Amino acid sequence: MTDVTTAVCPGSFDPITLGHLDVVRRARAVVGDVVLGVARNAAKAPLLDVGERVSLARAALDGAGLGDVRVAVVPGLLVDFCRDVGAGVVVKGLRGGADFDAELPMALMNRHLSGLETVFVAGDADLAHVASSLVKDVARHGGPVDDLVPPGVGDAVRAALARRAAAGQQDDAQHDDAQQDEPRTEGDRA
C-alpha cells in the first residue's frame, strides 16, 4: 500500500550536496516521512561506492537535524523501491529548466509504469549552482568544495579522487576530456 505521507527523494548522491539536503528539508515540510533513495546510475561509474554514499548521506542528514529521514539503496526500478517502502510520491528538486527537462521524462515513465507521481520543488536559489558533478570537477582540480557539501563530504571526495589517481584510474569527466582530445577520424590526425 502506498502512502502519500511517505515520499522518496531519489538520486545517486555522488556526492550528497547542500542542495540535496535542501530538497529533503522541503520534502519533510510537506510529508511526514521521507526516504532518501541512493540509486545506481548504470550510465556512469560513480566516484564513491554505494556504501560510501549511504554512509555520507546518513551522516549529512544526522548533522542537518534530519536524522528521522531513512536512507536506503534503490536496487532496481524506482517505482518498485517506492512500493517496497510504502511511498506514494517522489520528490525531486529543480535548480532550473535543464533539471526539469532531464527529470520530466523519468517522472512520466514512473507514472506510466505504476501511477507513481513526482512532485517537483524549487531549490534554494543560493544553491542553484551546486551539482554533484561540479563538486567533483572542482575538487579534481584542487578547488574548494567544503562550502558546497555537508561536513566530511569534501574530505571523502578528495580521498576518493586520490585513490583513483593512485590506481591510475580515470573518472567519467577525465575520460570524457581524454576522448575529446583524441582525433575523431584518420583525417583529423593530419
Active-site residue, from 44, 112, 129, 175: 44
Active-site residue, from 12, 26, 132, 136: 132
| Residue whose C-alpha cell reads 522518496 in the numeric block | 8
Active-site residue, from 26, 28, 92, 95: 95
Asked if 141 is an active-site residue, the reply is: no
Active-site residue, from 12, 20, 53, 136: 20
**Is the bond into 46 cis (omega within 30 degrees of 0)?**
no
Asked if 132 is an active-site residue, the reply is: yes
Asked if 44 is an active-site residue, the reply is: yes
What is the spatial distance between Cα 80 and Cα 132, in angstroms, rounded to a whole number? 25
Q: One-letter amino acid identity for 190? A: A
Residue from 130, 135, 131 nearest 154 by CA: 135
Q: One-letter amino acid identity for 41? A: N
89's enclosing H/E stretch is strand 87-94
| Residue whose C-alpha cell reads 576518493 in the numeric block | 160
- Catalytic positions, please? 20, 44, 95, 132
